[in-house]
Amino acid sequence: MNIIRCIFLALFTFQIHLFISQESTTTPSFSSNISNLKNPSSEITFSGFYRFLGYVRNQQETFPNNSGKTTAIVVGDFYREPMLLLKLNGKTKDNVSFGADLMINSIYKGPAIENNRSLTLDLGLNLRTSIVTNFGVFNFSSGGVSWYRQSRLTVWGNRSFNRMSIFERRPQTPLNNNPLNRYSNYYNDGLIDQGVRYGSRAFQGLFLNATKLPYNFSIKGVVGKSNFNRSFLETSDNFTGCFKIQNKLKENFTIAYNYLASSADVDSISNNKRKYFIHTLEAHRKWDKIKFHFEAGLGNYSGPEENLGYGEALIFNLKANKSAKIPFNLQLYRIAPEFVNVTGNFLNTSVLEVFPNVAGVGATIRTPFRSPMVGLGFPTNNRQGGSINTDFSIGRLKINGGIGIFAEIDTSYADVSYIHNVNGQTLSRIYLFGRSWGPYNFLNSTYRNSFEDVSISDTNNYGLANFKKFFNTIELQGKYNTTIFNHNFYIFSLTRLNSCQKKMHGLPQIGSNALISQLSQEIDISYSITKNAVLVLSYAIERIIGNEFTDIGDSPDANSSSLFFEWLGLERFNTYNNARNQRNRLLGIGLDYKIGANAILFLRHNQYRYYDPNFIENHLKGSETMLELKITF
């Protein structure tokens, strides 16, 4: 009891003196825990979008190996696109930027956890910094995926003449202030903004961009990886690096040297490598109304399967502006089969192995490989040729078009492949990234597109085609704008004719002269119903005709390869074949409706048909309905 009393008195005394005391300790009191100070990063912002895509496909005609499921109800994009993209962007006090793009998806298939835990990165993490010195400005970035572009022969994404149907939307397409702007921009400029990735290639690694260097030099480069030419083991060496040294000789005249090297170990102990390298020289010159671009180089490919040695490549481009008397764009190129590259602005058709075949690195993305029959502006290696394009207006009618002739440099595979201009996306959605699928294993699906391989029976002893292939292409686009009942009306017409044959011709061939001929016609209409609503319509047909040197169908009867003359009853002009005789069709209707600032609703419905009477089982028919809500922030 006395002890308690003493403690009480002591504490009481302390308390009294506590209040009259002015002295205080300055050292912090003991804590077993860490002390931390608030030190916020200077800037962190978030941006991104929410994109709901509801999809219903109803198949009336299916391939025979269909499981019986004819209706598909899907939420979310098929092609690994974010439903919620949350882009984190930060900047430290040291001017180091960092970013990550969080991708959050939910497939709305019930409350089970496995259906609702999809949180990942869309592309990856990036760190960037900029150093300003007396010698120049040096921009570094590290990480990936970053979109990189250097030159057409080294690193360049596919950029053609933007002749396409704009009925279908791409998820990367930004929203416009007004739904009609998408169509008016396409009418005026012929370009739809496809986001940063358009025209560039995905790379990971260390990036450098040095500008304002002495003597007007600039340098850019990357050491890292692309999603091509990869090793099976992730830890094995597989790198792609490139750089560009550019000098601005005059205000409108630049020259550049480009280098690219790609190497991948192809066995577990790194004994064998598959590699290629490229050196190119490039020149850009601009006059008042004419632009000139030239790039030429040497490439070398070697691998355990074959050593191709050196091959040359040349791209020449002369373009007169629209303001010139005769607006034109002349493109010439020659790319040897030994000039192998998968990140340039041309298709690789000579080495299959450089395509990715490793899970997780875009393994499923394999472009047409076997002598692809492509549109204008899509060079391929083992090919040479040229095209001339023009672009002019007659009143409100805007016309652009081009014609091209191309030839193989050396004989190649006994195949031809062609990309579907109509129903390409629809087919690719039926079997995502499938290779050699369909009842005849003709079909191949890529990212939002599909192509078919055609076998050729005229072969040599090595199984290669017994001849060089020649390709012809014509593209013609018309765009017209008027008003109906004081509302804007746009109509877009696109005609494409491609053919591949054994001999050179000035124009595309149709019928038995061509191994394969492809004719497509697409018409898109947009009509502004109100300020916030646009009605869209689309109609497209595609005809593919093969001759007797290509795959022969299983139909006992030959079918007409000229429906028009058959319809007219002009048997004299009508022809019949047993090879490919495809008749594809798409009829679509849609609505773009702005529901608020940065929020637009897109509704699309189409009826499709993929049909070939000579290949009895090649018959698909059905409809697709898509409801897309995109909100950006």
Partner 1 sequence: MLLFIGTIPMGSFAQKNETVWFDGLARSYFARDVIGETLEQDTLSAKNASNGYNLVDLNTHINPIENIEIFAQLRIKNQFGSFFGSGTSIDVRQLTAKGTIKNKVRFSIGDIYLKQNRFTLFNYNEDLSSYENNMFKSYRDIIHYENFYTQNRWRLQGLQTDFSFEFDRFIRTLEVDFFITRPRGSTALSNTTYSSDLLLSGGTILSKLNKKLTLEGNYINLFELPSSGTTNISVNNPVYHSALTYLGNSKNANFKHTLQSGFSERNWLHSELPNGASDSTSNSTEGLFFEFENEYFKNDSTLKITLGYRYVDPNFRSAGAQSRRLNFLPENTNTIYPMYTNSSLTRPRSIFDLLTDETLYNQDISSNLMVFNPIYSNVLPYGDATPNRNGIYLKSQLSTKRKNLVSIINSGFFREVIGQGTAYRRNFILLKGAVKFNLHKIFSWEKQMSLSVSSENEITNRLGDSIESLSLNSHQINVFLSTEIARKLFLQFAFKQFYANGKEFLTQRDNYGNITNFVLTNFDQKDQLISAGISYMLRENVYANIQYNWWGMSFNDQAYPNYNYRRLLFILSVKL
Query: How many C-beta atoms surround the C-beta of residue 105 within 10 A?
Result: 21
Buried b (16+ CB within 10 A) or exposed e, 157-174: bbbebbbbbbbbbbbebe
- Contact between 370 and 415 under an 8 Å Cβ cutoff? The reply is yes
Contacts 24+ apart (CB under 8 A), 62-71: 62/620, 62/622, 63/438, 63/439, 63/617, 63/618, 63/619, 63/620, 64/439, 64/617, 65/439, 70/622
Select from 47, 60, 120, 188 the one that contacts partner 1 (CB under 8 A).
120
Name 421's bridge partners: none
Per DSSP bridges, beta strands 514-530 and 383-394 are unpaired
Q: Which is nearer to partner 1, 94 or 251 (CB)?
A: 94
d(CA 548, CA 516): 10
Decide if residue 130 touches partner 1 (CB under 8 A).
Answer: no
- Shortest Å, Cβ 54 to partner 1: 22
357 to 376, contacts with partner 1 by CB under 8 A?
Answer: 359-362
326 to 355, contacts with partner 1 by CB under 8 A?
Answer: none
- Shortest Å, Cβ 116 to partner 1: 15
- Shortest Å, Cβ 140 to partner 1: 7
Decide if residue 235 touches partner 1 (CB under 8 A).
Answer: yes
- Shortest Å, Cβ 485 to partner 1: 46
Decide if residue 114 touches partner 1 (CB under 8 A).
Answer: no
Decide if residue 224 touches partner 1 (CB under 8 A).
Answer: yes
d(CA 38, CA 60): 63
Q: Which is nearer to partner 1, 119 or 249 (CB)?
A: 119
Decide if residue 137 touches partner 1 (CB under 8 A).
Answer: no
- Shortest Å, Cβ 205 to partner 1: 8
> What's the Rg (C-alpha) of the chain?
30
- Shortest Å, Cβ 209 to partner 1: 15
Name 331's bridge partners: 317, 387
Select from 1, 5, 35, 114 the one that contacts partner 1 (CB under 8 A).
35
Select from 2, 5, 24, 556 the one that contacts partner 1 (CB under 8 A).
24
Select from 102, 245, 281, 599 the one that contacts partner 1 (CB under 8 A).
102
Decide if residue 30 touches partner 1 (CB under 8 A).
Answer: yes
Select from 2, 21, 71, 323 the one that contacts partner 1 (CB under 8 A).
21
Burial class (CB in 10 A: 0-12, 13-18, 19+), 347: buried
Closest C-alpha to 577, from 537, 517, 494, 495: 517
Mark the segment that binds partner 1 (CB under 8 A) among 5-13, 301-309, 402-410, 486-494. 5-13
Which phi and psi angles does 426 have, rounded to 5°? -60, -45
Phi-psi group of 365: left, alpha or beta (phi > 0 → left; psi -120 to 50 → alpha; rest → beta): beta
- Shortest Å, Cβ 118 to partner 1: 10
Contacts 24+ apart (CB under 8 A), 116-125: 122/82, 122/85, 123/202, 124/100, 124/204, 125/98, 125/99, 125/100
Select from 150, 238, 509, 614 the one that contacts partner 1 (CB under 8 A).
238
- Shortest Å, Cβ 74 to partner 1: 18
Select from 2, 33, 65, 71 the one that contacts partner 1 (CB under 8 A).
33
62 to 91, contacts with partner 1 by CB under 8 A?
Answer: 80, 88, 90
176 to 205, contacts with partner 1 by CB under 8 A?
Answer: 202, 204-205
Mark the segment that binds partner 1 (CB under 8 A) among 23-31, 180-188, 326-334, 547-555. 23-31
Decide if residue 428 touches partner 1 (CB under 8 A).
Answer: no
Mark the segment that binds partner 1 (CB under 8 A) among 117-125, 366-374, 397-405, 548-556. 117-125
- Shortest Å, Cβ 7 to partner 1: 10
Select from 39, 67, 323, 486 the one that contacts partner 1 (CB under 8 A).
39
Decide if residue 241 touches partner 1 (CB under 8 A).
Answer: no
| Residue 456 per-residue DSSP state | B
Closest C-alpha to 98, from 174, 45, 39: 45
Decide if residue 23 touches partner 1 (CB under 8 A).
Answer: yes
- Contact between 333 and 344 under an 8 Å Cβ cutoff? The reply is no
d(CA 553, CA 622): 23
Q: Which is nearer to partner 1, 127 or 629 (CB)?
A: 127
Name 72's bridge partners: 57
- Shortest Å, Cβ 366 to partner 1: 14
Decide if residue 124 touches partner 1 (CB under 8 A).
Answer: yes
Closest C-alpha to 103, from 88, 122, 116: 122
Structure tokens at 272: 């064998």
Select from 57, 76, 87, 144 the one that contacts partner 1 (CB under 8 A).
144
Q: How many residues line the site for partner 1 (CB under 8 A)?
A: 78
Do you know the residue count of the chain? 633
d(CA 401, CA 13): 100
254 to 273, contacts with partner 1 by CB under 8 A?
Answer: 265, 268-271
- Shortest Å, Cβ 134 to partner 1: 10
